[in-house]
């Protein structure tokens, strides 16, 4: 039976960098922990599995045809997630066993695009353990473009969860007005924004999106310190030297706002943890009394958005 109440969990954790299997084990433990607390939706940070490409900036990643960049990327691709190979099967099983929905940030090595280019993807797994959408980041940001490929609109969609309609975007996609508008138009009233970890971003955009969409907004970040870079990492010394005096590479900043733009969970900095809150859909309906961006406060006769949700591919096969 659908209800107005929904218990959500923000999992702010550190990846086991460049280790898909170990990071997924950690994800599963947090899913189990959240399920034991009655959480119905848990979200994890952007690119959590197997981690954000923090090596690019300190090693001069824009050097063309550089042997070190090739070698690091090759291992990054090797540790990336290929859904078709079953890499998320145990995560799906944990979601099913716990009766909990999951948003998980991964680096996807998509078999349908040749299997070697990488996408920053946001995977939604429902409470029955079914992968319902895989949203590939539309536009990687700045140096991310040296590791990640641009995505498409296939996963730009929403899902029913109790009385809520939930959707989400990766990191700076949340600054893109049209993808936000697309989700609003599909009825989104619980927005999940995932990040590699930065209070400077989540502190500003989270209440902005909440007020604009009159929606609940969860910003969920990862956490990363220089000390979290494994000593076995390729080119460890070269990566560490420029960052060794930094306290954080990603400081977290996970938070939750209500549809009035007020904090429910203020940005959490510097600590791993599972942050839990109960939200009430009635608050969405209250705030949409005076502003509904895709309803009474829209003018589709003047402005309208077109969404292409076809999965991009370079090959189309026609068999007899």
76 or 313, which is more confident? 76
Q: Is the pLDDT of residue 200 over 90?
A: yes
Residue 56 domain flag: yes
Q: Is the pLDDT of residue 197 over 70?
A: yes
> What six digits make up the tokens of 139?
């536009």
- The one-character DSSP state at 234 is T
Residue 70 domain flag: yes
Domain count for the chain: 1
Q: Is the pLDDT of residue 315 over 90?
A: no
Give the pLDDT score at 1.
66
Residue 294 domain flag: no
DSSP β-bridge partners for residue 192 = 168, 218
Q: What is the DSSP string of 88-115?
A: THHHHHHHHHHT-EEEEEEEEE-GGGTS
Ramachandran region of residue 18, left (φ > 0), alpha (ψ -120 to 50) or beta?
A: left
Confidence of residue 2 (pLDDT cuts 50, 70, 90): confident
Q: What would the pLDDT profile of 123-169 be if each residue is shown by its tens digit? A: 999 999 999 999 999 999 999 999 999 999 999 999 999 999 999 99
Please give the share of the chain, as a percent, with pLDDT higher than 90: 95
Residue 318 domain flag: no
> What six digits make up the tokens of 270?
């510097």
Positions annotated as catalytic residues are 46, 137, 171
Give the pLDDT score at 120.
98
Mean pLDDT, rounded, for 176-180: 96
Inter-residue contact 137 to 170 (CB < 8 Å): yes
Give the pLDDT score at 222.
97
Please give the share of the chain, as a percent, with pLDDT higher than 70: 100
Q: Where are the beta strands (DSSP E) in 200-303?
A: 216-221, 252-257, 263-269, 273-280
43 or 315, which is more confident? 43
Q: Which domain holds residue 235?
A: 5-287
Mean pLDDT computed over every residue of the chain: 96
Q: What is the DSSP string of 175-218?
A: G-HHHHHHHHHTT--EEEEEESS-HHHHHHHHHHHHHHHTSEEE
Residue 319 domain flag: no
Q: Sheet containing 101-109: which strands, arranged edge to edge?
A: 131-136, 118-125, 101-109, 41-44, 5-12, 273-280
Residue 303 domain flag: no
Residue 295 domain flag: no
Q: What would the pLDDT profile of 28-66 be if each residue is shown by its tens digit? A: 999 999 999 999 999 999 999 999 999 999 999 999 999
DSSP β-bridge partners for residue 221 = 195
Confidence of residue 20 (pLDDT cuts 50, 70, 90): very high
Report how far residue 246's alpha carbon sits from residue 6's, in angstroms, rounded to the nearest whole number: 38
Residue 280, helix vs strand vs coil:
strand
Q: What would the pLDDT profile of 212-268 be if each residue is shown by its tens digit? A: 999 999 999 999 999 999 999 999 999 999 999 999 999 999 999 999 999 999 999
Residue 296 domain flag: no
CATH of the domain at 261: 3.60.110.10
Confidence of residue 314 (pLDDT cuts 50, 70, 90): confident
CA 40 to the chain's CA centroid: 17
Beta pairing class for 118-125 and 216-221:
unpaired
Specify the pTM. Answer: 0.96
């Amino acid at each position: 039976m659908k209800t107005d109440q929904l218990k959500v969990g923000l999992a702010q954790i550190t990846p086991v960098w460049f280790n898909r299997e170990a990071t997924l084990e950690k994800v599963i433990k947090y899913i189990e922990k959240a399920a034991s607390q009655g959480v119905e939706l848990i979200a994890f940070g952007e690119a959590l599995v197997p981690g954000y490409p923090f090596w690019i900036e300190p090693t001069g990643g824009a050097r063309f045809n550089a042997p070190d960049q090739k070698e690091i990327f090759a291992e990054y691709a090797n540790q990336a997630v290929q859904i078709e190979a079953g890499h998320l099967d145990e995560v799906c099983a944990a979601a099913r066993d716990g009766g909990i929905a999951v948003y998980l940030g991964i680096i996807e090595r998509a078999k349908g695009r040749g299997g070697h280019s990488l996408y920053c993807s946001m995977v939604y797994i429902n409470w029955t353990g079914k992968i319902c959408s895989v949203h590939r980041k539309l536009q990687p940001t700045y140096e991310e473009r040296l590791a990640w490929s641009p995505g498409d609109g296939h996963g730009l969609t929403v899902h029913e969860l109790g009385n809520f309609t939930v959707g989400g975007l990766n990191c700076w996609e949340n600054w893109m007005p049209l993808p936000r508008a697309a989700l609003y138009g599909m009825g989104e009233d619980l927005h999940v924004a995932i990040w590699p970890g930065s209070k400077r971003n989540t502190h500003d955009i989270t209440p902005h999106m909440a007020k604009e969409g009159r929606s609940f907004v969860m910003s969920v970040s990862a956490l990363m310190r220089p000390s979290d870079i494994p000593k076995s990492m390729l080119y460890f010394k070269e990566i560490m030297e420029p960052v060794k005096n930094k306290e954080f590479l990603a400081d977290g900043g996970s938070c939750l706002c209500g549809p009035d733009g007020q904090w429910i969970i203020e940005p959490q900095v510097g600590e791993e943890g599972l942050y839990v809150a109960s939200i009430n859909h009635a608050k969405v309906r209250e705030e949409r009394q005076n502003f509904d961006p895709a309803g009474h406060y829209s003018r589709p006769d003047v402005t309208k958005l077109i969404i292409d949700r076809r999965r991009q591919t370079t090959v189309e096969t026609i068999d007899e």
